[in-house]
Structures are given as structure tokens and as C-alpha cells.
Amino acid sequence: MSNTRISGIGMTSQRTRKRMIERLREQGIVDEAVLNVMYEIPRHIFVEDALASHAYEDIALPLGFGQTISQPFIVARMTELLTSGRPRGKLLEIGTGCGYQTAVLSRLAVEVYSIERLLPLLAKARKNLRELRITNMRLKHADGHVGIPEAAPFDAILVTAAATHVPDALKEQLAVGGRMVVPMGAREQYLCVIERTARGYTQTKLDAVRFVPMLSGLS
């Protein structure tokens, strides 16, 4: 990939990225590590060329296959909830999508494991991440409800689709002291933060959100 394509021009330039970061600060994102990473990673290469000029607007964009790339604020908010003041060793992401959230997490953790159930979408993510030379991640074509038990426990787990319930397998794969961020609900959705303690699990309901549903099976 050319340096020009990564750095961007016009509506994908670094100046446009700076405006996105300023907007995220105005919206309440305070973790400088998250803001720095989102400035550094070229979001426009993760969307279709025809939509690249909209990559830094605060909107979700279609990826095909009924999936979307979340708006920058949601990516920043979920990442901040997941990583701020938390262990950043090994993370699990459920729903690789185009790989953008994976790329953000890769800069904030030692190792990232990510699951995608849609094989064509996973192929796109692999290509995007390879072009950015991101190497501390492991992608897997699998059902997100199952997780990756052979790599557990994880210091943090991020789910990028709305679940009607938190799969027991994911709760079991969360390390004691770890945190999971997951959109919950069907018609009305909200971000939920689940923390595992030595005594069990705590659950906190936060912002209203809208995500595609978390589905079972492979495609």
C-alpha cells in the first residue's frame, strides 16, 4: 500500500483526522492513549473507496454482508471502557468486521485475538491489517458465542454485536480482574460492562447504542 493511501489526502488527510479527535474530546472521550491511536490509524482504508471521504465523520458505514463499521465515537467509547486503567495483556474481540476496531486494540494490548463468523469479511480484515503491518493479532473464523477457549483467559473481551444474553463461554474466558464490554438488548440496546471478581461477576448498564445482532453459526 502506498504512503499516500495510508496518510490520506483531502477528506482522508491527517487534518481531517485531527478534526475527528477534537470532536471525540468534545463528546467526552478523555483517554489520551485511545485518542492517539485513533488519530494514527487510517480509518479510511477500512471502508469501501466510494465511502472513504466519509470515514472520519461520526457515522456508521456499511461494510456489506449486513454489517457496519461503527461510528468513531462508539469505537472510542467502547475502547476507553475496555482498556482505561485495565490490564492490557491479552484481549479477545468478538466480531472482527473490517478490522478497524482490531487495529485500535492492537496498539493498546500485547496480543489481540479476534473472531469473525463471516469468512468473506474476515478475508477483508486480514488484507487491511496486513497492509498496516499489524502482527500482534490472531484472527479466527468461528462462532463468537464459543470464544477461543484454548487461548483463554483474556484480560478483556470486546463484543461488537448486540447480544440478548452474555454467553457463558465468554464469561468463563474472562480472567479474574478482567472486563468485558458488550452491547445488550434487541429493540432497545445499551452498553454493558461486565467485570469478573474473585466472588463472581458485576454488571453495569451504560449508554444507549445500536448494533447489528450477534448471530450464531458460520457463513
Task: Select which of 2, 13, 70, 106 is catalytic.
Answer: 70
- What number of CA atoms fall less than 13 Å from residue 100's CA on the CB side? 26
DSSP letter at 102 equals H
53 noted as active-site residue: no
Collect all residues with Cβ–Cβ distance below 8 Å to 168 and sequence separation of at least 6.
none
CA–CA–CA angle 106, 122, 193 (5° rounding) = 50
What is the per-residue DSSP string for 125-167? HHHHHHHTT--SEEEEES-TTT--GGG--EEEEEE-SBBSS--
Catalytic center residues: 70
